[in-house]
Each structure stands twice: as structure tokens, then as C-alpha cells.
Structure 1
Amino acid sequence: MEVRCLGEDEAWDLFRQKVGEITLESHPDIPALARIVVERCRGSPLAVNVLAAVMAGKNSVQEWRYAIDSLTLSAAKFSGTEDEILPVLKVSYDNIKDERVKQCFQYCALFKKGGHIWRNDLVEYWVDEGIIDGREDRYKAEEECYGIVRYLVNACLLVEHKYGNTVTMPSQVHELALWVASNLGEEKENFIVKPNEKLGEIPKVKNWGEVSRMSLSENEIKKISCSPVCPKLRTLLLGFNNLEKISSGFFMCMPNLVVLDLTTNIGLRELPDGISRLVSLQYLNLSHTDIKQLPIASLRELKRLQHLNLEFTGFLKEIAGISSLSNLQVLKLYASFDLDINLVEELELLEHLKVLTVSVGDAYVWEQLMSNPRLASCARNVYFYECEAGETGIISLAETSSRLEDLTIYESNIREIKIDQRGKMCNFMYLVKVEISECQGLQDLTWLLFAPNLGWLDVRESPQIEEIISKEKAARFMDGEADESILPFLKLKYLDLACLEQLSSIYWSALSFPCLKKISVFGCPNLWKLPLGSSSANGCNLVIHGEEEWIEELQWDEEGIKERFTLKGRKSEPVTAYPQNQSELEMLRKRVVDLEEENRTIKQRLERIERFFWQQQQLQQLRMSPQSSIPTMAHPQGPQLARMLPPQTVIHQQRQTQTTLPDMPLKS
């Protein structure tokens, strides 16, 4: 997208706004020097923003003169380029004092120019690559990485997506990052960056011996048969290709490879034995692949492996022997296969484990995990799917599972979520997202009192839920009367409630909701009052969505409060939990663009399924093919629903069925 250049006055006004009047007025000579700085930006809004970020707070004339000298020197270094903005951006890079932050900045050049980069991916790469040392304290290292992302955003070297999950590196900044990563352009084969270039094979490289990082993600590579000698290669990104086979010789001469990312290669069913030669490997991502068996004998040779991602590996039946990977700090099993007792016993042997994501189908097994304080503290993302909670219908969250970030409960008979306080007040301060769908027997979510930073709550199709926060149970948690000094939802941004026939109350009194942007209520015929009052409307841009009739009949305790919120009634039914076909997916994308905040829920769901929608589509085609040996899934609504399953359901039924899916058809 072409960005319009600013006029002289526009550029000055933007710079003055960003750098601040206090800085500009700190010395009478600074405004004139600032004008010279702005001239060097050539009307580029990016350059103006970058230099303003560099100069904000610099109150001495010497600092401003030094900045002008730096721009002159930087322009000389870039004399061979046509881009007049790169010298300006180089000054911002030179202003970074911490060498580790510079390496993190360079790492961002491995991703597609102008494309979205997941913040969590950056954090994991930086820690597992060893740029930020997480050997002693991984949690502290991750927090430092998020701080570095924030620093680069504030320096205008990264642009944050409006929902905060992803960042983008502007094209010119990307050119700068590649330039400095290749030793100011002198070692261009140091970084091989070719994402999304429609490559059908590994590109030819003049000197493999000089390559330190290679990014070939989002291409069309199906087979790798070469055997390069890569003594310096540390990072290899091969995600989002069409990989089906990797020759054993490919990994034979990569002794210093630290990061190997193979995510979302749908046709990849096995790893070559040669992977055992990656003796320096610390990060291995096999998520969203069709790998059927984990070669534990080969992986056992990877003594330094500390991060293994097996999320959404629907064909993988077991990972017996995982305890032999004694240095594992991160093990991700979300939506792969259900946790069982044998696996819990193996997890107990992983002494260095810090992060665990799991799928749970048996409450008894979950209780065994929660009974181990160390393992409970590792739980980050937990997915209960068709979970049987036994006669009691109770699952527990241990006080030590305070690092829990994301909890999803889907099609389960969980009647109560119990907080195991053991005489101590719980605090799930990292929990930011809770989704509950088709949960039978659950009557309330009072335990969310202990989630002070919850940002998104989505509850739907759970017919027995009567209250979100129960006053009676809140008093029980507080050993007496409900203590209104502990208020829920102070960080809540989005509240989505749908198809909750018995729901009559969210909270018993008005709440302030300082961060709330949207409430969406559909199919809740007994909920006629929201916990909103005058305090809720202070500085608030809250939008309330619901059926037209429900919007009109809402009850308000205070006069004039209704007019302080934006009410949007709709005749249509609420959107289903997951897109059901390609056309609906496209429709949802368009609605996200057109309606933005109104469709926050849809946007969140799209982000969760974008990466593996193709896999679901292929599995559905196989299932409906006359040659397919997979039986139609039993369901009260018949075969039609089999074509509309969410990805988690498809994966679950893959591992439950006794019939093996046939090989994926080759592309013509």
C-alpha cells in the first residue's frame, strides 16, 4: 500500500505532536535544529514517527546536533541505495543500546515483509534461540521479550495490530533489518529470507557455509532431498508449506541448528531419522502436521531440546517416552490427544518443565495433574473437550495453576468448577480468555472472581447457567458475606453470551467496567438487566448488541443511563461458534472488515482457525468421498452436521475412530 508523503507543514506538525512541546521548548535553539531533522525525513510519515520517538525527551542542544551528524553519516553509508528513508531508520536502530534488542529486531526480518507476526511466536523464538536467556527463569525471560516488543513498537520499528496479538514490520524497516543482519549488506547470504515466494523446492544457495538463518515459510515446497552442509545455520523456518517428505540427509550437517519450525505442513506424516543429528536443537514445532508417530529414539539424541510443540496433531496417537527429553521446558499438546494417566506420570519426570498446554477428556486424569503442584503451575492453555467429570460433575483448579492463560470447555458435563484454595486466596492473574460452549449442568462461573485480568469471556449454549457471578457462592468463597471490594471484570473488554436459556443475572449490582468495549447478548430470554450504572458509563464507549426486542425491553435502574451507551439491535440469529464452510468464512471476513468492533467475537474465532482451515476442508472432502473408509459421524442431525464440524471436533474424531484416514490425494 502506497503511503502519501507529507507536506512540509504536515510533517512538522506530526513531528511536533509526537516529540512533545516540552522537549521542543527546553532550549531556544532546539526548534531550528528540529526543523533540520524533519527535513531529512523527506515527507515520510514513518521516518517522522521514528525520529520523533528517538528525539522525545532529548533536552540538550548537543543531543540534537549529534542526531543531525548521525543522519549525515548514515546517509553516506546508504549512498548506494535509492531509498532516502533508510538512513533515517538506521539512526533509530543505532539508538538501541542493548545488543540483545538489536538481535531481536534483526530476527523480525525473517518474516514476510508487511505481514503479521504473532507476538507469542517472537517471544518463543527469542527465548529458545537464546537471544534472551531463559535457562534459569523462563517466565522472567518471556516478560522481558514482551517488553522488547513494546519497545520496538514505541520506537515505530514495529506496528502493533489493533487487537494486540500481532505486529507488523513496515517494508522499509524490514529492508533495514535485513541490511544490518547481513553485516551492512556485505554478507547477503547470512540471512536467506524468501517467505511467500511460491517456491517449489529449497532454493539454490551459493555458499551454504555462510547461512545463519533461513526463512522459507508460506511457500509450496513438497519434498526436500538435498543434503547441504550448514555449519553456521541456527534458524530454519519451513512452516506453512506443502511438505510431505524430508530426506534423512537434509539434517545431517546442521550441527548448530537451534530453531526448526515445521508448523502447518499438512502432508508431513513422519520425521526422518536424520533429525537425531540436530544435537544443538532447542526448539521444534510440529503443530498442525499429520505426523503419526513421534520418533522418540531419534529425539532422545536431542539433549538440548527444550521446546516441543505438538498442538493440533490429530493423527498422533501417543508420545510414550517423552520423559526421555529431560531438558524440556515447554510441551504443547493442545488439541492433539487427551491427557491420560501414563502421560501424567511421564510429565512428572520432566523436572525442568515450565509451560504445558493440554487437552482433557477425563476429569479424573485432570485431578491427577492438579494434585501435582509443579505440573499445575505449568498449565497455560487447557481445552476440555467431551470431558466426563464423573458423578460429582466437578473439576478443580489448583491454587498453583496461577499461570493459566486460556481455558476452553466444549461439549462437557462439567457441573461445577471448584477452586482449591487450601486456606489461601487464589489469583489467576494471567488468565485472559475463557470460552465455554455446550457445557451441561454448569450453573455459574463465580470462580472468575479470582481472574482479575480476564479480557474476553464467551459463554454459549449451556442451558443450565443461571448466573455468571453468584452472590451466594461469592460469599462462600469469601468465608462470609460477598465482599464487594473484590470486583470482577475490571479488565474485561468483550463479553459474549448466547443461547443461555436460564441466565438471569451477570452480577447482582452495577459494575464500573473501565475497559469494556462490547457486550453481545443473543438467545438469553431471562436476562433483562445488565450490571450497568452511572459508574459504568464514565469515559466509556460501550456498544451493546442483541435482538431488537431484547434491546427495547432492557431494564435500567438509573434514569438517563441508557442513552450513554450505544445500543445495536439485530433481527438475525447469532453467528454459530465456528464457520461452517468456505463461503461463510468469506462472509465473516467481510463482516469483520465492515463492522470492526461489532464483530470482535467473529474476529477472534477467525484468528483461531485461519491456520488450519485448509486441513479441516481436506478432511471433510475425504470423509464425503465415496472411496473414503471413514464412517459418518453419529449425531442427532445426521450427515449434514458432519460437514460443519469445528477443527477441534475433527481432530478429536480422528483419534477416536478405529479407521485410519486414507493418504491425502496428490495435487495434479
Structure 2
Amino acid sequence: MEVTCLGADEAWDLFREKVGEVTLESHPDIPALARIVVERCRGSPLAVSVIGVAMAGKSLVQEWRYAVDALTLSAAKFSGMEDEILPVLKFSYDSLKDERVKLCFQYCALFRKGEHIWKDHLVEYWVDEGIIDGKEDRYRAEEECYDIIRYLVRACLLVEHQYGNAVTMPSLVRELALWVASNFGEEKENFIVKPNENLGEVPNVKDWGQVSRMSLSENKIKKISCSPVCPKLRTLLLGSNNLEKISSGFFMCMPNLVVLDLAANIGLRELPDGISRLISLQYLDLSHTDIKQLPLASLKELKRLQHLNLEFTGFLKEISGISSLSNLQVLKLYASFDLDINLVEELQLLKHLKVLTVSGGDAYVWEQLMSNPRLASCTRNMYFYKCEAGETGISIAATSSRLEDLTMHESNIREIKIDQSSPKTMCNFQYLVKVEISECQGLLDLTWLLFAPNLGWLDVNESPQIEEIISKEKAARFMNGEADETMMPFLNLKHLDLAYLDQLSSIYWSPLSFPCLMKISIFGCPNLLRLPLGSSSANGCNLVIHGEEEWIEELQWDEEDTKEQFTLKGRKSEPVAAYPQNQSELEMLRKRVVDLEEENRSIKQRLERIERFLWQQQQLQQARAHQQPTTGMLPPQTVIHQQRQSQRTPPDMPSKLDK
């Protein structure tokens, strides 16, 4: 499973780097013991890294002697195993700080090999299954989950995606997790993990009574008609199949099922009545399905249900009566049922609600939602679509401090207003990581983003009236006349995309520090001739600026030295010779191919999101008019799903884009 193998010197150098010189020098006997530990790793870079991190900070010689004994014992005990590195890696598993972290680690093995696992999905699973207790304080539990992910990344048991929103589990570590979860191979049916294996039906299991977690996602299962007896089953992942029908008997004997994921089964139009038998169910994901109505009579029997995801369910006709699910903590309605005044009234009845995602609705309805401090504080994702606010603008309550994602599309909103009664203390959207504005009329600026200190992704396009991103005049009003050089927005910004903003002339009035910024993409902004970049803006980061070649040539810089610090990449290219004349030309061609692939992927992602939004809205309108969906035409959601099944690419954007 390991592609490369390190030599003795390379392995020792890597181990020293991971464990640290301070630890190695803390006792005269430790270096010799450390050499033995490295030998046990058999040249595996992963094993060397994982064990090195596990031993970092262990300054007692007794700890090192124990490590040598443990690694020797494991190797002898499991010497008949196909891969002898697993017993070595088990030492790092045994070193994890508590049983909850070990369970979280095992959970990551439910996803297919090499898959990018969204961090927020892991957090939801862990909290709603109860591995991390969130009954009293869900926010604290979520923070603890993110801390566990960071801990597993530091331990080299997970690898963080470059944008920080996803992780992967190395193949060998995944084998370790499955091995441990199966009681070291003794109980192989404890974890049934068969994602992306081209299955057409639920696999045969010798002893359903032993199954505690099952992952059958990304297969081709169309119908489920079996009636297994699963007294221990807690997690069932069936997302991204071709499910159309689930028999009532399937859920009859799963009394301890806590997590049920049916997301991205676009042929699934109804749930069986037997779902009412899932008396322990706490998490139900129906996002990206074609479900037409909620069987509330059955769902009301699920007294423990606390997480219901209905995002991107365009066929859903209504959700009146949702307040009967009185224990809900999480309700996700993003790009599904439009917000209306009746829904706002029902939401007010959900006394335990902690997380809410919403979309649609007119300005009056949004004002009613924002005027309720509890609902405003619950709102994580907001999607304005064809919202008419005109001159009055729209308000985002200062109590919306948990807002993470804001999208505005095809709306007429002149101003985004916030409560300015005490801006320095009350308005702090510290969790807001992504803002996307597209095809909006009337907006002149986005100065309110001064109050989003952790914004990571800003995408503004086809909004012709925008003149400034941050207005100095309005910033002064927000800050009681104190708009000065001490204001430092965008300190956590990673991506800035601006496209087809005819009137845009300024992002910010002076150079800013961008310690995290990796990419600026600017196209179709002819009046933007100066960027807020100075000699210290990038602070060592490899900042790449994309734009039309003509625009890049016309950019104005305070100092020529500043220009040299950034990588400038023009879209328009010169004619290319039939064959490269030298090595440098060949390297240039390779770089251009990479750039074009990146731009193409970005365009496809944007097109996918727009198509999905538009199609969902179309289906919603048809459903309200009691019309049947148009036949003979494959909806974009279907096409997108098929594309994802055949060819999956790593996530390039924050996790809130695509659930």
C-alpha cells in the first residue's frame, strides 16, 4: 500500500523532524531507543511520520522503552498480517487521547478510499450520533469536533485539503481504522464499508445482528426490499445511489439507528411509512432528492430527531407542520422551500433550534426573520433569489453572528444594512466565510464586510452598479467617523473573484495585508486599475493574480518593486509555435495547461451552481402551480449527479457550496 520506501538515513531524518530535537536530547538513552523505533517503521514514510508525531514531547526514557516494547509486541502478535505496517501504526491509534477521539477516527473509514471528506459533514455526524455530546451546547460540541479534526491532522492520521474545508484519510491509515473497528479482524461485519463498489443491491450479510455501521454510498442501488434485523446498527449511509423505492419492512428492525443519510438519491420521491419505527433516529439527510412531501405523521413518531436536511429538494410542495418535530436542533432548507411568513411563524415554535439554513422570500419576510433574535442567531446560510428590496435595502441582524454563507442571486437590493447602534461590539460576523453576489441590481458597495473578519471567499460578478467593495465614506459612518489605516479587513481572505463589474473602480482605498490570499481573479472590470496591494501585502504568500492580459498591462502600482512580488497570469495568450523550441518554452506550455484547467474547473463549478439554483426554482414554481415537471429533458441536477458519479474532483471551494 505504500508506494515508496525510505532508506535508513532518510527515515531517521524524517523522524527527527517530526519528534523534535528537544525531545531527542532530553535523555542520553532516548536517541538509541528512537533508532529502534524507526527500524520498526520499516521505511514507511507514513509510519515514520505518525510514530514521530506520537512520540513528540515524550521526554521520559520510560515512555520510549514502552514504545519499543509495544511496537515489538505488536509486530510479533500480528506477524501473519498481509501488511506489517498496520501493527506499527496501531501504536499511534493507542496513543490517541481518549475513546471519543478513537471513535471519531474510526468513523472516517466509512468514506471511500481517497475521498475528500467535508469537515462540516464529519462534525454533523459526530454530534448527531452522540459521539460528541451536543445536547446541552451544540456550538461547543461543534468546536470540539473541529479541534479533534485538527488533532488527527497533527497526528498525520488525516491530511488537510489545501483550502482547509476537507480532509482525506491516507489509504494505509484507513486500513488501520477498519482493522481496529473490526476488533483487529475478528468481527469483520461490525463495519460494512462498500462505497463506490458498483453495487446494484444491498449486499448479503451473514450476521446482520453484528453490524453497527454500514456505508453503501456512491453505488447503483435502485430498490431496497429486504427486511434485515439490525439491533446494533447506528449509522447507515446510502447517499448518492439511484434509490427510487425503499420498502417499509427495511426500517422495521433497526431500533438503534441514529444516523440515516439518503442524500443525492434524485429518484427518491417518497419515504416509506416504516421510517416511523426508527425510534432512535437523530439525523436524517434528504438533501438533493426529489421527495415531494414529508410524511409528517410518520416523522412525528421520531421523538429524538434533531437534524433534518432538506436542502435542494425542489419538488417539495410544502412543509407546513414542521413545528411538530419539536426536538429539531438543525433544519436545513437552503435552495428548497421558499421562506414565507407562515414558515417564519412555524420556525418560531421550534424552541430547540440551533442551526437554520434558508432561501427565497421577499424583503418583508426576511425582515420578519431577522427581527426575531433567536432565529437570526440560528441562521447559518442565507440565499436571496430574485428578492425585491429596492431603495429600502435589506437588513442582516447584528444577532446573526453565526452566519457562515451568504448568497445573493438575481436580486434587486440597493443596500445591505446592519445594526449600527454599537458596531464595534455588536456587529461581528466572525463565522462568515463565504459571500457570493451575482446578477444583482442596485448594490453600490459591500462595506458591511468590514464586520466579517474571517471571510475566506468573496465572489462578486455581473452586478453592474457596484462601484467599490469597501467604501471609505461609508466605513467612516460605520466606525463613527474613524475610518483610518488601522482598519484591516480581509486578513483571512483566500480567494477573491470579481467578474463583469462595469463600474467597479476600487476594492479598498489603501494597501492591505493579505496573509492568506492565494488567488485574485478579475475579469471584465475595466475601471479597476489599482489593487490594494503594497510591498508587504502578500507577506510571503505565493499570490497569483488572474486577469485579461490587457488589464494586467494597464494595472497601476505605487512601486515597481511591488509588482514583482506577485505572479501575474493573463487569460489572453500569444500564438504558440507548433513545437517548443527549448525547455523553458515546454515548461511555459505546461504551466499554461495547468492554468487553463484551473479556470475551466472554476467556470464549470459556477455553471453547476447556477444551473442547480435555476432548476430548483423552476421545479418549485411548477410544484406550487400543481404542474408536473417537464418530461423528456434531463434536469441539470440529474446531469450533475451523473457527472459526479463518473468523475469526481477535489473540492476547490468552502464546504458550504455543495452539500
Using structure 2 for the length normalisation, give the TM-score.
Answer: 0.90
Distance 2:605 2:178 in 1: 28
Which residue does the alignment assign to 2:241?
Answer: 241
Give unpaired runs (5+ residues) of structure 1. 573-590, 617-644
Deviations 1:179-199 (A, max 9, x none): 221222222211111111111
Of 17-26 and 306-315, the range deviating more from structure 2: 17-26
Which residue does the alignment assign to 1:534?
Answer: 535
* Contact kept in structure 1, 2:2 and 2:44, CA below 8 Å: no
Distance 2:603 2:135 in 1: 34
Distance 1:569 1:604 in 2: 16
User: Per-residue deviation at 1:521?
Assistant: 1.2
1:661 to 625, 629, 642: 629
User: Per-residue deviation at 1:248?
Assistant: 0.8
Give, as a single letter, the amino acid of the residue that structure 1 aligns with 2:520.
Answer: I
Distance 1:75 1:236 in 2: 34
Of 476-485 and 464-473, the range deviating more from structure 2: 476-485
How many pairs align?
616
Which residue does the alignment assign to 1:510?
Answer: 511
* Contact kept in structure 2, 1:5 and 1:44, CA below 8 Å: yes
Of 71-80 and 445-454, the range deviating more from structure 2: 71-80
User: Per-residue deviation at 1:135?
Assistant: 0.4
Highest RCO, 1 vs 2 (Cα 8 Å, sep ≥ 6): 2
* Contact kept in structure 2, 1:495 and 1:520, CA below 8 Å: yes
Distance 1:424 1:565 in 2: 35
* Contact kept in structure 2, 1:246 and 1:271, CA below 8 Å: yes
Is 1:406 aligned with 2:405? Answer: yes
Is 1:418 aligned with 2:449? Answer: no
Distance 2:51 2:31 in 1: 14
* Contact kept in structure 1, 2:363 and 2:394, CA below 8 Å: yes
Deviations 1:544-583 (A, max 9, x none): 11111111111112342111221112227xxxxxxxxxxx
Compared CA separation, residues 247 and 278, structure 1 to 2 (3 A): same
Give, as a single letter, the amino acid of the residue that structure 1 aligns with 2:628.
Answer: T
Give, as a single letter, the amino acid of the residue that structure 2 aligns with 1:271.
Answer: L
Deviations 1:613-645 (A, max 9, x none): 6xx9xxxxxxxxxxxxxxxxxxxxxxxxxxxx6
1:459-608 maps to which residues of 2 (within 5 A)? 459-571=460-572, 595=594
Which residue does the alignment assign to 1:68?
Answer: 68
Q: Secondary structure at the match of 2:439?
A: strand
Compared CA separation, residues 538 and 265, structure 1 to 2 (3 A): closer
1:182-221 maps to which residues of 2 (within 5 A)? 182-221=182-221
Which residue does the alignment assign to 1:372?
Answer: 372
1:336-375 maps to which residues of 2 (within 5 A)? 336-375=336-375
Of 7-16 and 418-427, the range deviating more from structure 2: 418-427
Q: Secondary structure at the match of 2:214?
A: strand
Compared CA separation, residues 66 and 287, structure 1 to 2 (3 A): same
Distance 2:45 2:251 in 1: 45
Distance 1:405 1:327 in 2: 23
Compared CA separation, residues 665 and 276, structure 1 to 2 (3 A): farther
Q: Secondary structure at the match of 2:617?
A: helix
Distance 1:549 1:211 in 2: 62
Which residue does the alignment assign to 1:621?
Answer: none
* Contact kept in structure 2, 1:458 and 1:496, CA below 8 Å: yes
User: Per-residue deviation at 1:605?
Assistant: 7.0
Give, as a single letter, the amino acid of the residue that structure 2 aligns with 1:82.
Answer: E
Deviations 1:138-193 (A, max 9, x none): 01100100111111111111111222222111222112111221222222211111
Is 1:646 aligned with 2:611? Answer: yes
Identity %: 80
Deviations 1:183-227 (A, max 9, x none): 222222111111111111111111111211111111111000111
Give, as a single letter, the amino acid of the residue that structure 2 aligns with 1:452.
Answer: P
Compared CA separation, residues 490 and 310, structure 1 to 2 (3 A): same
Which residue does the alignment assign to 1:42?
Answer: 42
Give, as a single letter, the amino acid of the residue that structure 2 aligns with 1:548.
Answer: E
Which residue does the alignment assign to 1:96?
Answer: 96
Deviations 1:426-455 (A, max 9, x none): 100000111111110100000000001111
Is 1:444 aligned with 2:445? Answer: yes
Distance 2:547 2:402 in 1: 34
Distance 1:560 1:165 in 2: 34
User: Per-residue deviation at 1:57?
Assistant: 1.3
Compared CA separation, residues 114 and 518, structure 1 to 2 (3 A): closer
User: Per-residue deviation at 1:86?
Assistant: 0.4
User: Per-residue deviation at 1:602?
Assistant: 6.3
Distance 1:134 1:608 in 2: 35
User: Per-residue deviation at 1:424?
Assistant: 4.6
Distance 2:604 2:26 in 1: 49
Distance 1:438 1:539 in 2: 35
Deviations 1:17-49 (A, max 9, x none): 222222222222222211111111111111011
Distance 1:593 1:277 in 2: 57
1:25-424 maps to which residues of 2 (within 5 A)? 25-389=25-389, 391-424=390-423
Deviations 1:280-337 (A, max 9, x none): 1000000010001111111011110000000111111211100000000000111112
Give, as a single letter, the amino acid of the residue that structure 2 aligns with 1:474.
Answer: A
Compared CA separation, residues 540 and 188, structure 1 to 2 (3 A): closer
Compared CA separation, residues 129 and 457, structure 1 to 2 (3 A): same
User: Per-residue deviation at 1:456?
Assistant: 1.1
* Contact kept in structure 1, 2:339 and 2:359, CA below 8 Å: yes
Give, as a single letter, the amino acid of the residue that structure 1 aligns with 2:31.
Answer: P
Distance 2:552 2:141 in 1: 47
User: Per-residue deviation at 1:608?
Assistant: 8.0
Deviations 1:205-259 (A, max 9, x none): 1111121111111111100011111111111110011000000111111111100
Compared CA separation, residues 126 and 602, structure 1 to 2 (3 A): farther
User: Per-residue deviation at 1:356?
Assistant: 0.6
Distance 1:292 1:478 in 2: 48
User: Per-residue deviation at 1:663?
Assistant: 7.1
Compared CA separation, residues 72 and 56, structure 1 to 2 (3 A): same
Deviations 1:343-395 (A, max 9, x none): 10000000000001111231111111000000000111111111121x43411
Of 166-175 and 460-469, the range deviating more from structure 2: 166-175
Distance 1:604 1:130 in 2: 37
Distance 2:254 2:402 in 1: 35
User: Per-residue deviation at 1:594?
Assistant: 5.4
Compared CA separation, residues 20 and 150, structure 1 to 2 (3 A): same
User: Per-residue deviation at 1:664?
Assistant: 8.5
* Contact kept in structure 1, 2:423 and 2:478, CA below 8 Å: no
Of 292-301 and 201-210, the range deviating more from structure 2: 201-210
* Contact kept in structure 1, 2:189 and 2:211, CA below 8 Å: yes
Compared CA separation, residues 306 and 480, structure 1 to 2 (3 A): same
Distance 1:209 1:592 in 2: 55
User: Per-residue deviation at 1:80?
Assistant: 3.0
Compared CA separation, residues 606 and 207, structure 1 to 2 (3 A): farther
User: Per-residue deviation at 1:422?
Assistant: 3.4
Compared CA separation, residues 424 and 477, structure 1 to 2 (3 A): closer
Give unpaired runs (5+ residues) of structure 2. 574-589, 639-659
Q: Secondary structure at the match of 2:132?
A: coil
Which residue does the alignment assign to 2:580?
Answer: none
Distance 1:519 1:187 in 2: 51
Distance 2:262 2:592 in 1: 31
Give, as a single letter, the amino acid of the residue that structure 2 aligns with 1:660.
Answer: Q
